[in-house]
Amino acid sequence: MKINDVPRKNLQFHAFLLFFAISSAQIGVGIFSFQRSIFQACGHIAWIAVIIAGLIAHLILWSIIKILQKYESADLFGIHYDIFGKYAGVVLNILFLFQYICTIVAIMRNYIEIIQVWIFPDIPSWVVIILLSILTFYTSSGGIRVILGVCVIQFTIILMTVLLSFSPLEYAVWNQLLPIEVDNIKELINGVMRMGFSLAGFEVVWFLYPFVRNKQKAMLHAHHSLGFTNIVYLFLTIVSLVYFSADQLQEGLWPSIDILKIVKYTYLERIEFIVISIWMVVTMSGLALFIWIIGRGCKRMWNLKPNMIAIITLMLAFVANINIDEHVEIKQLNAFIGMQVIASTFIYPVLLSFIVMIVHSYRQRKNNEGGQQHESMEDI
Amino acid sequence: MKAWRTFSVALIAISMLTACMKTNIIEEISIVVALGFDVNKDQTFRVTSSFLESQTEPKLNKERSVSVHTKTSQGAQQLFTQRVGYELAYGQIRVLLLDPKLFEAQKANEIQLLSRDPLYGDMIKIVIADQGAADILEHRYNSIPNIGTYLNNMLDHNTNKSWSPVMTMHEFSKDKSEDLYREKVIPIMERQGEEIEITGSALLQNSQIVGRASAQESFYIKSLRGEDAEFPYEVFFTKQQLIESGMIHHFPRNENVQDVSLAFKIINSKGHIHVTDLDKLEFKATVNVEIDIQGISEYYNFQDSRAIAALKKQLRSTLTTHLQQVLDKIKQVNSDCVGFSERYRSMIPHSKLQQTNWIELFPTSTLQGDVNIKLIRTGTKE
| Domain CATH code at residue B321 | 3.30.300.210
Residue A379 has pLDDT above 80, yes or no: no
B50 and B198 fall within a common domain: yes
The CA–CA distances, whole Å, from B139 to A334, B145, B151, B154, B260 equal 52, 11, 13, 17, 43
Asked which of A2-16, A225-239, A360-374 is least confident by mean pLDDT, the reply is A360-374
Contact B51, B63 (CB under 8 A): yes
The dihedral through the CA atoms of A40, A42, A48, A51 has a sign that is negative
Q: What is the mean pLDDT of chain B?
A: 87
- pLDDT at position A83 over 90: yes
**C-alpha–C-alpha distance, residues A107 and B16, integer Å:** 22
All residues at 6 or more sequence positions from A11 whose CB lies less than 8 Å from its CB, including other chains: A143, A144, A145, A211
pLDDT at A98 over 90: yes
pLDDT on residue B8: 79
**Both B169 and B283 in a single domain?**
no
Is residue A372's pLDDT more than 80? no
Is residue A4 helix, strand or coil?
strand
Q: What percentage of chain A exceeds 70 in pLDDT?
A: 97
pLDDT of B58 higher than 70 = no
For Cα atoms B24, B36, B115, give the angle at the middle one, nearest 5 degrees. 65
Shared domain check, B321 and B199: no
Residue B179: predicted pLDDT: 63
Mapped onto helix, strand or coil, the DSSP state of residue A272 is helix
Average pLDDT over residues B66-83: 82
Establish if B53 belongs to a structural domain: yes
Taking CA atoms, B11 is separated from A136, A139, A148, B214, B337, in Å, by 16, 16, 25, 66, 60
Verify cis geometry, omega within 30 degrees of 0, for the bond prior to B187. no
- Look at residues A28, A265, A7 and name the one whose alpha carbon lies nearest to residue A132: A28
Q: Which of B213, B244, B264 is the last residue of a domain?
A: B213
Give, for A127, the enclosing helix (H) or strand (E): helix A125-141
Q: Does B37 share its domain with B167?
A: yes
pLDDT for B55: 65
DSSP state of A380: -
- Per the structure, the count of domains in chain B is 2
Q: Inter-chain contact A175–B345, Cβ cutoff 8 Å?
A: yes
Q: Which amino acid is at B177?
A: S
Shared domain for B53 and B161, answered yes or no, is: yes
CB-CB neighbors (< 8 A) of B348 in chain A: 179
The answer to whether B313 and B319 are in contact (CB under 8 A) is no
pLDDT at B177: 53
Question: How far is B57 from chain A, CA to nearest CA, in Å?
Answer: 26
Chain segment B290-315, per-residue pLDDT in tens: 999 998 888 888 888 899 999 999 99
CA distance linking residue A319 with residue A323, whole number of Å: 7
B144: left (phi over 0), alpha (psi -120 to 50) or beta: beta
Nearest to B350 among A120, A122, A183 (CB): A183
Q: What integer is the mean pLDDT of A202-223? A: 95
Q: B172 with B312, same domain? A: no
Are the beta carbons of B349 and A181 separated by less than 8 Å?
Answer: yes
For residue B10, pLDDT beyond 70: yes
**Domain coverage including residue B341:** 231-377
- Does residue A244 belong to the interface with chain B, where contact is any CB pair within 8 Å? yes
**A173-212 residues touching B, CB cutoff 8 A:** 173, 175-179, 181, 183
Residue A34: predicted pLDDT:
94
Question: Would you call B342 and A181 a contact, using CB atoms and an 8 Å cutoff?
Answer: no
Q: Tell me if chain B has a CB within 8 Å of the CB of A116.
A: no
Structure confidence by residue, pLDDT tens digits, B15-44? 766 667 777 787 788 889 999 999 988 888
The model's confidence at residue B7, banded by pLDDT at 50, 70 and 90, is confident
Cα radius of gyration rounded to whole Å, chain B: 27
Q: Which residues 322-351 in chain B show a CB within 8 A of chain A?
A: 339, 342-343, 345-351
Residue B20 maps to a domain: no
> What DSSP state is assigned to residue A269?
B
pLDDT for res B11? 78
Is B306 part of any domain? Answer: yes
CA A186, A189, A195, A201 torsion: positive or negative? Answer: negative
The pLDDT value recorded for residue B17 is: 64
Q: Is the CB of A121 inside 8 Å of chain B's CB atoms?
A: no
Question: What φ, ψ does residue B324 adopt, rounded to 5°?
Answer: -60, -35
Compute the average pLDDT of residues A318-328: 91
Q: Which residue of B has its CA nearest to A142?
A: B5
B131, B132, B135, B137: CA torsion to nearest 10? 130
pLDDT score of A375: 58
Residue A227 CB-density burial (10 A; 0-12 exposed, 13-18 middle, 19+ buried): middle
Within an 8 Å CB–CB cutoff, is residue A138 touching chain B? yes
Identify the pLDDT of residue A268: 86
Of B179, B213, B247, the one marking the end of a domain is B213
- pLDDT tens figures, A164-196: 999 899 888 888 898 888 878 999 999 999 999
Looking at the DSSP bridge assignments, the partners of residue B65 are: B50
pLDDT value for B4:
82
Residue of B nearest to A254 (CA): B118
- pLDDT number for residue B71: 84
User: What is the rounded CA–CA span in Å between residue B100 and residue B39?
Assistant: 9
Q: Is residue B9 part of a domain?
A: no
Q: What are the angstrom distances between the C-alpha of B239 and each of B77, B264, B317?
A: 62, 19, 15
Query: How much is the average pLDDT of A84-104?
Result: 94
**Can you tell me whether residue A212 is helix, strand or coil?**
strand
Residue B106 has what pLDDT?
Answer: 86
Whether B82 and B137 map to the same domain: the answer is: yes
Nearest-Cα distance to chain A for B8, in Å, is 10
Say yes or no to pLDDT of B255 above 80: no
Residues of B in contact with A269 (CB under 8 A): 121
In chain A, beta strands by DSSP E? none
Asked if residue B1 is part of any domain, the answer here is: no
Residue A36 has pLDDT above 90, yes or no: yes
Q: Does B171 reach chain A within 8 Å, measured CB to CB? A: yes
Q: Say which residues have a Cβ less than 8 Å from residue B34's Cβ, sequence separation at least 6.
A: B49, B50, B93, B94, B95, B96, B97, B137, B147, B148, B151, B152
Distances (CA, A) of B272 to A195, B323, B338, B343: 35, 13, 10, 10
> Mean pLDDT, to the nearest integer, of B342-349?
85
In sequence order, the 6+-apart residues with CB closer than 8 A to the CB of A220 are A15
Same domain, B235 and B140: no
A122: DSSP letter? T
Mean of pLDDT values over B68-86: 81
Which residues in chain A have Cβ-Cβ distances shorter than 8 Å to B345?
175
Residue B155: pLDDT over 80: yes
Q: What are phi and psi of A159, to 5 degrees?
A: -60, -45
DSSP sequence for A56-92: HHHHHHHHHHHHHHTSSSB-HHHHHHHHHHHHHHHHH
Same domain, B179 and B72: yes
User: What count of Cα atoms within 13 Å lies in the side-chain half-sphere of residue B124?
Assistant: 29
Task: Please give the domain boundaries of chain A with CATH numbers for all domains.
Answer: 9-371 (1.20.1740.10)
Would you place residue A314 in the very low, low, confident or very high pLDDT band (cuts 50, 70, 90)? very high
The pLDDT, as a whole number, for residue B59 is 54
Confidence of residue B367 (pLDDT cuts 50, 70, 90): very high
pLDDT of residue B252: 81
| Average model confidence (pLDDT) across chain A | 92
Q: Are residues B200 and B332 in the same domain?
A: no
What local confidence, expressed as pLDDT, does residue B112 receive?
Answer: 81
Task: State how far the alpha carbon of A370 is from the alpha carbons of A357, A364, A379, B69, in Å.
Answer: 20, 10, 14, 93
> Which chain A residues have a beta carbon less than 8 Å from that of B94?
none
Residue B37 lies in a domain: yes
What's the rounded mean pLDDT across residues A105-131?
92
pLDDT of residue A54: 97
Cβ proximity of A280 and A111 under 8 Å: yes
Q: Bigger pLDDT: B340 or A371?
A: B340
Nearest Cα neighbor of A207 from A315, A63, A96 is A96
pLDDT (tens digit per residue) in B38-51: 998 888 899 999 98
Asked whether the beta carbons of B269 and B287 are under 8 A apart, the reply is yes
Contact B174 A245 (CB under 8 A): yes
List the single best residue of B117, B122, B354 to mutate versus A (max A Cβ within 10 A).
B122
- B187 belongs to a structural domain: yes
How far, in Å, CA of B14 to CA of B6, rounded? 12
Distances (CA, A) of A251 to A216, A362, B107, B114, B177: 46, 54, 20, 14, 12
Asked whether the predicted pLDDT for residue A373 surpasses 70, the reply is no
In a domain, B221, yes or no: no
- If asked whether residues B202 and B284 sit together in one domain, one would say no
Position B81, amino acid: T
Query: Same domain, yes or no, for B256 and B356?
Result: yes
- Quick one: average pLDDT of A131-136? 91
pLDDT at B311: 93
Q: What is the pLDDT of residues B161-213, one digit of tens each?
A: 788 888 999 989 886 555 667 889 999 999 998 999 999 999 998 889 999 99
Domain boundary among the residues B183, B213, B243 is at B213
Cβ neighbours, 10 Å, residue A365: 10
Residue B91's pLDDT is: 84
Q: Please check whether residue B213 is in contact with residue B146, taking contact to mean a CB–CB distance below 8 angstroms.
A: no
